[in-house]
Amino acid sequence: MVPPKIIILQKKQDGTAEVDVMVAVREARRRGVAQEALSILMRYAKAELGVKKFRAKIMTKNDSSLRLFEKKMGFVHEKNVECFNEVWLVKRT
């Protein structure tokens, strides 16, 4: 199994943490690796770090990531940031 790159940026005072995931090896994509890793990491961040809300900033044309976060991980649209061509999604714990 090829490990994904996962980043949780520093938790802010309001309990929000940014989360990002990338599976760099093309052959390892679309196999549930990113979803499983995000699920584990988010459970840990909630239980051990007190994270209350997760935010993902995704490029507007990255349909695969948008599908992962919205359809599989339960994130919802927060806002569009047009100057960066990003969609911000959030999930409250």
Binned at pLDDT 50, 70 and 90, residue 74 comes out as: very high
Starting at the edge strand that comes first in sequence, how are the strands of the sheet with 16-22 ordered? Answer: 5-8, 16-22, 53-59, 86-92, 76-81
Handedness of CA 56, 60, 61, 64 (dihedral sign): positive
What is the homologous superfamily of the domain 5-92 according to CATH? Gcn5-related N-acetyltransferase (GNAT) (3.40.630.30)
- The amino acid that residue 19 corresponds to is V
Write down the mean pLDDT value for the chain: 87
Q: What's the confidence (pLDDT) of residue 93?
A: 87
Average pLDDT, integer, range 43-67: 94
| Cα–Cα distance, 70 to 55 (Å, whole number) | 12
Kindly give, in sequence order, each residue whose CB lies less than 8 Å from that of residue 13, ignoring residues fewer than 6 positions away. none
pLDDT tens string 4-32: 666 666 667 888 999 988 777 777 677 77
Q: Give residue limits of the domains in the chain.
A: 5-92
